[in-house]
A = this chain, B = another copy of it.
Amino acid sequence: MALLVQKFGGTSVGSLVRIEAVAERIIKSRRQGHDLVVVVSAMSGETNRLIAMAQALSPEPDRRELDVLLATGEQTTIALLAMALKARGQPAISLTGDQVRIHTDHRHGKARIEHIDTTVINQALARGQVVIVAGFQGRGPDNAITTLGRGGSDTTAVALAAALKAEECQIFTDVDGIYTTDPRLEPKARRLEYIDFESMQAMAALGAKVLEVRSVEHAGRHKVKLRVLSSFAEHSAGTLMTFDEAAPQGISGIASCLQSVLVTIKGLTANSEQARRLLEPLGDAGIDVDILCSTDDASNGLVFTVPLGDFGQALPMLQASAAAMGELDVLHRQDVAKVSVIGNDVGIRSDIATITCGALSDKQIEARHFLTSARRLTLILAQQDMVQSVRILHQTLIGP
């Protein structure tokens, strides 16, 4: 009898029929003797519906009030799921982030969890109830409703698993685990039974959409055992993220991302104090920056990517800093794709770069930028070469 935290995302609870299927699945886990804390997202489409209402009233809706609005999405799901469980005779109780006491900082729309009070949850578990918690939301310092940033419900699940010292944090999604690459790009992609934490972190950061990188990092800090499972395919054990030093060596997968903007700032090197000052505001704004230039390559300048969705916010920040530093030019292009080979032996196998470049140049594919580090090898390519590159690298490095 273990305590499990299970998280079901928006697609998994996307309709009343799906909510009933999730209820059945929870009851099966319960019959296996587990104590369960279940975190749910808003039903798929609901958050977008709410945002559209807010934007009809104001192009930039007040952030405090937007959180009050968005929090209704998860509140709806917890109520419906708890009802579905109780209608099946399974004792259950729904709790909002506020009711649990998921204390966050004050940053509406991208709040960080500071402390979780486990009292209410533990009391409910002791009564034999399945505890259904609204993901993505918490209570700010002034008792305002806050919502977490990207990956919000995953973050809630991981934070609860850490606070409750749960045996596993199971993330149910629409795929049955972490694959060696996106199966939509390469049908021969294989599910991994295990993945080590650092490779998972790189996969999430570099394009795998299954888990948000902040949730993976959160799990890493608290050594939470994360398992990715399908809420649709019942008989797959999914992928377990391990912290084991004895994790199998090898290449975990090929990640890819079409939604990056490549930025170059000539005359700066990555390790410089100026680079740090230039990029700091982006970090403060929660924008992920992936630095690509090697530190000894001053002629290329500072080269990095920014997610396309954040670029509108990032560009004025970069231009302001660059202007203040002596009229540095900020060059950027959006017609690029990023493909990364990820694994815990990428950094120690000197042949991987050679194999990768050879396999691509055989097909006349040229990389514009190229970075290797301990667990990754990242290429910047023309967008139209992305899918073919993923398939060539998967076949060459992972197998036919």
Residues of A at the B interface (CB closer than 8 Å) are: 16, 19-20, 50, 53-54, 56-58, 61-62, 64-66, 68-69, 71-72, 75-76, 78-80, 82-84, 86-87, 93-94, 96, 98-99, 120, 143, 145
Contact = CB atoms under 8 A, between A and B. Distances in A.
A53 B79 CA distance: 10
B71 A58 contact: no
Contacts of A96: 68, 145
The 7 A-B residue pairs whose C-beta atoms are closest, nearest first, are A69-B79, A58-B87, A68-B79, A72-B72, A62-B86, A65-B82, A65-B83
Contact of A83 (B57, B72, B79, B82): B57
Contacts of A87: 57-58, 61-62
A65 B53 contact: no
Contacts of A50: 76
Name the residue in A20, A54, A68, A86 with the highest tally of chain B Cβ atoms < 10 Å from its Cβ: A68
Given A54-B83, A64-B93, A72-B75, 8 more contacts: A54-B79, A58-B83, A58-B84, A65-B79, A68-B75, A68-B78, A98-B98, A99-B143
Given A68-B94, A75-B72, A98-B98, A80 B53 contact: yes
Contacts of A80: 53-54, 57, 65, 69
Nearest to A68: B79
A59 to B, nearest CB: 8
A380 B75 CA distance: 46
Contacts of A120: 143
Contact of A66 (B69, B72, B83, B84): B83
A56 B99 contact: no
B86 A76 contact: no
Contacts of A143: 99, 120
A23 to B, nearest CB: 9
A79 B65 CA distance: 5
19 contacts: A16-B57, A19-B57, A50-B76, A54-B79, A57-B80, A57-B83, A57-B84, A58-B87, A61-B87, A62-B82, A62-B86, A62-B87, A68-B75, A68-B79, A69-B75, A69-B76, A69-B83, A72-B79, A99-B143
Contacts of A82: 62, 65, 68
A107 to B, nearest CB: 18
B99 A53 contact: no
A84 to B, nearest CB: 5
A60 B314 CA distance: 51
A258 to B, nearest CB: 34
Nearest to A43: B53
A37 B354 CA distance: 70
Nearest to A74: B72
B71 A75 contact: yes
Nearest to A139: B99
A130 to B, nearest CB: 12
A202 B76 CA distance: 38
A98 B145 CA distance: 11
A381 B221 CA distance: 75
A82 B62 CA distance: 8
A122 to B, nearest CB: 15
A90 B54 CA distance: 17
Contacts of A66: 79, 83
Nearest to A23: B57
A82 B63 CA distance: 11
A75 B53 CA distance: 14
Contacts of A72: 72, 75-76, 79
